[in-house]
Amino acid sequence: MMELLFRGGGCMSRKKKMKMEYRFYEVPEKCPVLALLGEKWVQNYGYQIDYLHFHNLLEIGFCYSGEGTVILKEEELPYHGDMFTVVPKNFPHTTNSLEHQMCSWAWLFIDVEGFLAELYQNNTRMAQKLIARINQKAHLVRCTEKPEVAELIRMLIRCMDEKQEFYLEEAKGLTRALLMQIARWNEKDEKQEKDTVMENASITMILPALNYIRENYREELRVEELATVCHISETHLRRIFQESFRMSPVEYINWFRVRTACKELRKTNLPVSDVALHCGFTTISTFNRNFRRILEVSPQEWRSAPENYEQKLLKFDIKTKEGW
Return the pLDDT at 128: 85
**Domains and their CATH numbers in the chain:** 4-188 (2.60.120.280), 202-315 (1.10.10.60)
Say if residue 3's pLDDT is above 90: no
Say if residue 323's pLDDT is above 60: no
Is-contact 35 160, C-beta < 8 A?
yes
Q: How far apart are CA 161 and CA 145, in angstroms?
A: 25
pLDDT in tens, 107-136: 999 999 889 988 988 888 888 889 989 998
Return the pLDDT at 319: 33
Return the pLDDT at 56: 87
Return the pLDDT at 19: 66
Query: Which one, of 138, 106, 91, lies nearest residue 33 by Cα?
Result: 106
Return the pLDDT at 7: 32
Return the pLDDT at 141: 96
Is-contact 86 136, C-beta < 8 A?
no
Say if residue 172's pLDDT is above 70: yes
Neighbours of 96 (CB within 10 A): 22
Q: pLDDT-based confidence at 283, cuts 50/70/90? A: very high
Say if residue 8's pLDDT is above 50: no
Instruction: Tell me the mean pLDDT in the region 28-49.
Output: 89
**To the nearest whole percent, how much of the chain has pLDDT over 90?**
50
E strands present in 51-174: 52-55, 58-65, 68-72, 75-79, 83-87, 93-97, 103-110, 138-142
Return the pLDDT at 147: 95
Instruction: Tell me the mean pLDDT in the region 57-70.
Output: 96
Return the pLDDT at 309: 53
Q: pLDDT-based confidence at 47, cuts 50/70/90? A: confident
Return the pLDDT at 95: 94
Instruction: Tell me the mean pLDDT in the region 229-235.
Output: 92
Q: How far apart are CA 266 and CA 98, in angstroms?
A: 25
The more confident residue out of 281 and 303 is: 281
Residue 50 CB contacts under 8 Å (≥ 6 apart), including other chains? 16, 17, 19, 71, 94, 315
